[in-house]
Structure 1
Amino acid sequence: MNEQRIDTLLNAMTLEEQVSLLAGATFWTTAPVERLGIPALKVSDGPNGARGGGSLVGGVKAASFPVAISLASTWNTELVTQVGQALAQEARSKGAHVLLAPTVNLHRSTQNGRNFECYSEDPFLSARVCVAYIQGVQSQGVGATVKHYVGNESEFERMSISSDIDERALRELYLVPFEAAVKEARTWAVMCAYNKLNGTFASENRRLLTDILKREWGFDGVLMSDWFATHSTAESMNAGLDLEMPGPAKFRGQKLLEAVRAGQVRAEAIQDSARRVLRLLSRVGVFEHPAPVEEQAIDRPEHRALIRRAGAEGTVLLKNNGVLPLDPTRLKKIALIGPNARTAQIMGGGSAQVNAHYRVTPYEGLQARLGGSVVLGYETGCANHKLLPLLEKPLTAEYFNNRGLSGKGVPGAGLAQAEVMWFDEPAPGVNVDTFSARLSTRFTPDEDGVHHFGLVSAGLSRLFVDGRLLVDNWSAWKQGDTYFNNGSDEATGTLELQAGRAYDVTIEYATPAEGIRAVRVGVTRPLGDEHLERAARLAADCDVALVFVGHNGEWDTEAVDRPHMDLVGRQNELVSRVASANPNTVVVLQTGAPVTLPWLDKVAGVLQAWYPGQEAGNAIADVLLGAAEPSGRLPQTFPVRLEDNAAHGHYPGGNGRVRYGEGLFMGYRHHDTKNIAPLFPFGFGLSYTTFAYGNLRLSTESLAPGGTLTVTLEVTNTGARAGQEVVQLYVRDEKASLPRPEKELKGFLKVALEPGETKTVTLTLGMRALAYFDDARAAWVAEAGRFEVLVGSSSRDLHARATFSLQRDWVGSLETAQAAF
């Protein structure tokens, strides 16, 4: 449908019909206009899968891809484009037309609960990865939604806090990925952040939404709110917010009609936003295929292979004393130790969750690869859960059309496990807003001893064992940080249980007055000192000890920041004990952000595997055994300690505001300027082979304003194995009128090399690669003078450098300055 047809359709609509397009009809769909044949649009959460329109818990199964920080660690934009294409296919299988991804907020701190869902601390790397992702998604006719625009670098008080960011930092860091998404990838949708920017809610910030996004950058797609992030009628509409989500409308609909009739909102603004919604409907092909599609769980072999490859390629080798890759022909017994050894940690928490087709644990991945040729021993050692492990037992459900469990109950569908979120009516005829439920199962413990039961709920809940009230989360319910801050903290109770005996477990639940409706039951027998001792004994009896530690989607999750930068529980103690028992100890980390590593000098190897999707165990096994090269490189600096992080002292804020006091000097820029040695620098990653750099050449030593500089060099694989190197190009302005970082990433390329092979790498720099943002002139400025090009394999490991001069000042306007550097 071309623009002329869209205008014709728009002119045929009444004001009421135009307004109806500007708010969701349901949680995941927009409103149709049946009179004119305008269908509804369906959206789905991403970014590491397409969940569809179901609950965040359970629902139709979907492929789980590596999380964003893992994808960025590949530094492979071609691979990311392939992932975007696959995710679009996944979205289509769920009947969705728009994927709510990618997330391009920056890694300002190591504590942000959503770091796993974002790409990098560096705006250039984030921009290149997000452009590749969006191009992949939209090449398949599915819309991408770049988010959260802008300043959502923490989860602390995210619904109300003001991110106070100076103009230079905003322009040079935090806006850059969004600018690239609009100018280069031509993203079809943008999502506003929950937070305020410099005192004004993002969804009401006219300068942010209209002046910058729509006018300066030329964005012609749909600008939607995050879910429940619309706070006003006239203010948000006049600021440029096109679509309130979710539905039904809270601030649009009749309120917006009244605002137009009262002269508070211009009819032209309604028409512009309605036109944008129609344009999006046209772009995703919904006019040609208006009928809703039933959600399907399609487990594609090609997606399995892509997830496995991407998960392995995003794995970063942080340390190796020669123990990796493992040679099975020289090993008789391997110890697999740790809370993540036989648990597949495949993704973070929050809205990024999907119900994966399957989950491969590291134990299963190694077992499949080794095929019994090597004995595998296993010990948990310690726990790393935040909430008690989920009670994975099927439950029967009975629902009541009131909050008091009174009257005749209505049988509901059985539940696969003891966690459920209700978005639709739980049983026929039961009101989803005002119901209560009785959920029942039987639990048979494997061991004698004291067991802990935990109960979390958005709404009231209580738990009975054999008719005895054990956990009361009803009479003393208090709001906590679960379920996007709608749920309670975990209430617990303990009970001595006998192994092999079946116990009746009953959960009673009542909905809250408003908000999310959910309940979760956990149970465990706590691990003690004897489990640490058993792990150390096993390690001493094996040729190699592999320790799988880290976090999970309870720690790395939306709506909650991490409390510190350490591994939780007794995991550090576990690693130290195992390393003391076996010098060939390799640690496999699965976290969504950097952690401290107090035992680093004691272990032989460290792999950072992030959350690599449903093929986690296979991808990790491929790297450990050398079937895949660890070609990942860090997209975020690993500080030695929390205090070395640039945002420390400015994070997470208080009294409703967070000041981005570090300004431009975030991430490696901070470490460079303050001369603080990182634990592992930005861009760092070892390989199973070695590389040499040489013959760095520049296309000119004197560059005219508006010109481009071509940088050429040769990279050689000097080792005995094939491998991939990430060539990183940084630029330094030797003298500037305004403060600038010591150097900034402005180019990179991943190159695959056979043993002994040499390849020529060519990178190009434009004016934006040399420029800073002059807030006094409101323009991009590259000053005449000398610049240095630095090429290497990390921000701290630089192998070659050369200088050139810019002949005269270059000034780029906001509208014309390209997003590419």
Structure 2
Amino acid sequence: MIDDILDRMTLEEQVSLLSGADFWTTVPVERLGVPKIKVTDGPNGARGAGSLVAGVNAACFPVAIALGATWDPALVQRMGAALAGQAKSKGASVLLAPTVNVHRSGLNGRNFECYSEDPVLTAELAVAYIQGVQSQGIAATIKHFAGNESEIERQTMSSDIDERALREIYLPPFEQAVKKAGVMAVMSSYNRLNGTYTSEHSWLLTKVLREEWGFDGIVMSDWFGSHSTAPTVNAGLDLEMPGPTRDRGEKLVAAVRNGEVKAETVREAASRILTLLERVGAFEKAPDLSEQALDLPEDRALIRQLGAEGAVLLKNDGILPLQKAGLGHVAVIGPNAAEVRVMGGGSAQIAAHYKVSPLEGIREALSNANSIHYAAACRNNRLINVFSGEMRVEYFKGRDLAGPAMATETASKGEFFWFELPSSELDPSDFSARMTVSYIPVESGEHVFGMTNAGLARLYVDGKLVVDGYDGWSRGDNYFGTANVEQRQAIHLEAGQRYQMTVEYCSPAASEEGINLTAVRFGVEKPLGEAEMLDAVAKAENADIVLLFVGRDGEWDTEGLDLPDMRLPGRQEELIERVATVNANVIVVLQTGGPIEMPWLGKVRAVLQIWYPGQELGHAVADVLFGDVEPGGRLPQTFPKLLSDNCAMVGDPQVYPGKDGHVRYAEGVFVGYRHHDNSGIEPLFPFGFGLGYTRFSWSKAKASTTQMGAEGVTVTIDVTNIGERTGSELVQLYVRPVGSKIERPEKELRAFAKLRLAPGETGTASLVVRPRDLSYFDEGTKTFRAAAGRYELVAAANAADIRSTVAIELASEWIGETDDRSI
């Protein structure tokens, strides 16, 4: 069928398939019955065609690092299948997920959206996620291929990575997604790889992906990540997104006519697009692109389960789990207690069906709500709190708010990121808008107004200019580096008085690259100062237990910028210190997208890391705190003691954050625990660490044979629950080369199993190691090689807790070709 359609297509029609029609759909060819299909973000929910800050409600699942902490591929596969249902509810045939870039440092703003620092864990979870999604007829899209481990200047930065590090650390998750899961789509990254944009990288997109791994799906650009015509098409980039086209269309037709691109190359790319449509069933039944909010009880239950399974108990001196009976007075304190931080920022954002705060979850869990005393104490948001309340929005032709309004609508939030405008008569590069809303302060005193805008904007209160986003506009990190630094201004407001807030916005002029993001975000908040801190300390002093919720939010852990450090923002560390001084029973609950420094660790009784676990946040954390379920998570990323302990933090700007357009991955393969092992730097919490509410005993590891052969070696470990509660235990299996002449990591994870056992129950972890698992990549011969000799298979609970080892022999050197598809 595909060949027949292609035979009847003109060159222009084939070319039309190689670019999007708009932000979210492909181009149809109606005369030949070729429908258009929709794609949707993202990893933790299906947003649909709405903007990053609005849209039809969707189920909000835990972020990827929380899934990494589950170490549970079966559970992740269930989530993938559920997400496919969510994608269908948004009329989408392609889900733009999962994200599998490796945690190179603790500062990547997008670490929350990636699974782990380790390629094996990342690959196993990615395969499970993809299998779940594609089992329901929805295409998964693995991203960002490749070398996108930082958000700093990501559109232009060259990630300079040697081939050994690529082959051993950064490419394996993509490789296994192709070979094991049959992923249908790959998204190229924004950055350059060793000097060449990945969207133009023929070695990456054709030699490695297609010729070596056998990938037969489509490769699409990240949004606005295509920079040329002939180079991208010749390299193997099938689909330019979003549309309408900037680099293809007539330009590509001309490139074919003048010989820069072969007609057969265009036909092959068009064939892959049509094959994708066939695989998702678009030819059998044209997709219904309408969108609905699908709120299923089974999704709610799964999200709640995932939240608990990903929660990592980092410290517990016996205070957890809390007993509800006789608990006494509970102080619930901190900026993350009542504010609901369920996801990271950027393209992963969705409009959740609902969001349960920790405070709400705790109140539901405890029958005596009167025993709960809450205080925010301080703030930790990067930007002024966005305004929430009904407002009128008027849209005008031109950039000067002149003439009649071309469209009018109401909005409930002071944040606008326009993918589409409400009238076809409005030009994204030549429109203006006015937002009008009333604001009634609850308290008298100083209030801070803030605004950031991609485009130009001014904020007025009762007709007086308060925030000027015109004069002195200076580019910042917001909205993927297209908006200004947030402008702030404080004014005095009286409680109960009605103030009229007006924001006047005009779009930026069209850019030469055709990238024209239009956005504005404004808000107001009353600062929290010493009085609020003292109130929190007083409530803590009078409580029997303090639950202290601290961390970050999606303004810090976000696409578009890296973190400034590994410290808790604002006055949160001070808050922990002061609360711990007046109460000995402090439990810290952390919400971050990665590791933080913990100078206060010795002063609190327990620390629970819950990440951003989705819309059931409050229920999941209450389930763990009160012992209804066990904290099932184990760290998917090493938590260093200090920022300087990260492998990329060596004091060289060329290594991080990059210099002169290049960032050099000088550490090579020594990422995460590999770096800590080889440098002798003790981490705060090792890779794979996590406590539970029960205890386990392990047998010694046993190998099925002491000689490595083509079929591999099976290692078994018996684990018994010797405690009084049901719980889970993680069994890791590392390979340690003995006497290697090549510089290699001290040990490398090669397999794992998570066993869930009732009291007294014994389970067996059966883990297989194959010849390639013993190997390293030899850049000279371009092959994977394992030297003959002795290897140790190391059974461990985490990277620093080795339980037993078993030695095996490889009789003769093993060599594996890069195009071996039997992985």
TM bucket (normalised to shorter chain) is over 0.9
Q: Distance in 2 between matches of 1:621 and 1:646?
A: 35
Partner in structure 1 of residue 603 of structure 2: 602
2:717 partner amino acid: L
Contact 1:334 1:374 in 2 (8 A): no
Q: Any idea what the Cα deviations from partners look like across 1:332-373, whole Å, max 9, x if unmatched?
A: 111000000001110000000000000100000111111326
Displacement of 1:568:
0.4
Query: Structure 1: which amino acid aligns with 2:417?
Result: M
Q: Which residue, out of 99, 103, 110, partners 1:103? A: 99
Q: 1:657 corresponds to which residue?
A: 662
Question: What TM-score does the superposition give when structure 1 sets the normalisation length?
Answer: 0.98
Aligned partners of 2:90, 2:108: CA distance in 1, in Å? 30
Aligned length: 814
**Residues 749-793 of structure 1, C-alpha deviation per residue, up to 9 Å, x if partnerless?**
111111121112211111121111111111111111101011121
Whether the aligned pair in 2 keeps the contact of 1:394 and 1:418 (CA below 8 Å) is no
Once residues 425 and 645 of structure 1 are traced to their aligned partners in structure 2, the CA distance between those partners, rounded to angstroms, is 44
User: Is 2:38–2:289's contact at 8 Å kept on the other side of the alignment?
Assistant: no
Q: Which residue of 1 aligns with 2:635?
A: 634
25, 42, 48: which one aligns with 1:46: 42
Q: What amino acid sits opposite 2:23 in the alignment?
A: F
Q: Is the Cα contact below 8 Å between 2:700 and 2:803 reproduced in 1?
A: no
1:367-386 residue pairs with structure 2 within 5 A? 367-372=363-368, 375-386=371-382
Instruction: For residues 123-173 of structure 1, give each alpha carbon's deviation from its aligned partner in whole angstroms, at most 9, with x where no partner exists.
Output: 000000000000000000000000000000000000000000011101000
CA contact (8 A) 2:102 2:118 kept: yes
Q: Find the partner of 2:714 among 693, 710, 713.
A: 710
Amino acid at match of 2:619: N
- Give the superposition deviation at 1:188: 0.1
Q: Quote the residue 1:224 is aligned against.
A: 220
Alignment of 1:537-616 (within 5 A): 537-616=538-617
State the Cα deviation string for residues 477-525 of structure 1 (Å, max 9, x = none): 2211101111111111111011111111111000111311111111111
**In the alignment, is residue 117 of structure 1 matched against residue 113 of structure 2?**
yes
**Structure 1 residue 386: Cα displacement:** 0.5
Contact 1:328 1:374 in 2 (8 A): no
What displacement does 1:427 show? Answer: 4.0
Q: Deviations over 1:165-188 (max 9, x none)?
A: 011101000001000011111100
Q: 1:245 corresponds to which letter in structure 2?
A: M
Kindly, what percent of the aligned residue pairs are identical?
A: 54
Separation in 1 of the partners of 2:340 and 2:534? 24
Cα drift, residue 330 of structure 1: 2.7
- Residue in 2 that maps onto 1:788: 792
Deviation at 1:33, TM superposition (A): 0.6
1:244-283 equivalences in 2 (<5 Å): 244-283=240-279
Match of 2:54? 58
Q: Match of 1:174?
A: 170
Q: Quote how far apart the aligned CAs of 1:298 are.
A: 1.2
Moved more, 86-95 or 485-494: 485-494
CA distance in structure 2 between the aligned counterparts of 1:682 and 1:770, rounded to whole angstroms = 20
Deviation, 1:476, is 2.2
What letter corresponds to residue 350 of structure 1 in structure 2? G
How far is the alpha carbon of 1:374 from its aligned partner? 6.3
TM superposition shift of 1:35:
1.0
Q: RMSD of aligned C-alpha atoms?
A: 1.0
What letter is aligned with 2:35?
A: P
Q: 2:308 aligns with which of 307, 312, 316?
A: 312
Partners of 1:695 and 1:734 in 2: how far apart? 20
Q: What pairs up with 1:394-409 in 2 under 5 angstroms?
A: 394-409=390-405
Write the deviation string for residues 76-98 of structure 1: whole angstroms up to 9, x where unpaired.
00000000000000000000000
Q: Which amino acid is 1:527 matched to?
A: L
Amino acid at match of 2:216: D
The equivalent residue for 2:817 is 813
For structure 1, which segment, 130-139 or 398-407, has the greater mean C-alpha deviation from structure 2 after superposition? 398-407
Q: Which amino acid aligns with 2:58?
A: A
Whole-angstrom distance in 1 between the partners of 2:302 and 2:247: 42
1:698 aligns with 2:703: yes
Other structure's SS at 1:72 match:
helix
SS at match of 1:436: strand
Output aligned runs, 1:97-496, within 5 Å: 97-372=93-368, 375-427=371-423, 429-496=425-492
- Alignment match, 1:90: 86
**Per-residue CA distance 1:365-421 (angstroms, 9 max, x = gap):** 111111326611001111001000111011101221110111223451101111112
Contact 2:393 2:433 in 1 (8 A): yes
Q: Deviations over 1:194-213 (max 9, x none)?
A: 00000000001110110000
Which residue is 2:692 aligned to? Answer: 687
Deviation at 1:291, TM superposition (A): 4.3
| CA shift in 2, pair 1:232/1:427, >3 Å | closer
Partner Cα separation in structure 1 for residue 719 and residue 287 of structure 2: 53
1:742 is aligned to 2:743: no
Matching residue of 1:522: 523
Distance 1:727 1:401 in 2: 62
Q: How far, CA to CA, are the matches of 1:187 and 1:611 in structure 2?
A: 26
Distance 1:236 1:291 in 2: 29
For the Cα contact (< 8 Å) 2:91–2:287, is it kept in 1? no
Counterpart CA distance in 1 for 2:194 and 2:421 is 40
Q: Could you say which residue in structure 1 is the equivalent of 2:736?
A: 732
The Cα of 1:817 is off from its aligned counterpart by 5.5
Q: Does 1:502 align with 2:503?
A: no
Tell me, yes or no, if structure 1 residue 671 matches structure 2 residue 671.
no
1:268 to partner: Cα distance: 1.2
Shift of 1:425: 2.2
Q: CA–CA distance in 1 between the matches of 2:626 and 2:282?
A: 47
Residue 484 of structure 1 aligns to a residue whose secondary structure is: helix
Q: Within 1, Cα distance between the matches of 2:288 and 2:577?
A: 55
Distance in 1 (CA, whole Å) between partners of 2:796 and 2:36 is 50
Q: How far apart, in 2, do the equivalents of 1:348 and 1:143 lie?
A: 23
Give 5+ residue unaligned stretches, structure 2.
511-515
Does the CA contact (< 8 Å) of 1:426 and 1:432 recur in 2?
no
Distance 1:433 1:157 in 2: 24
Q: Is the 8 A contact 1:768 1:818 kept in 2?
A: no
Aligned to 1:777: 781
| 2:398–2:432 Cα contact (<8 Å) kept | yes
Q: Determine the C-alpha separation between the residues in 2 that align with 1:518 and 1:412.
A: 17
Q: Which runs of 5+ in 1 are unaligned?
A: none
* 8 Å CA contact retained: 2:101, 2:170: yes
Deviations 1:289-336 (A, max 9, x none): 214331001111110000000011000000001110110113111100
Contact 2:212–2:821 (8 Å) recurs in 1: no
1:746 & 1:722 partners in 2: Cα distance?
27
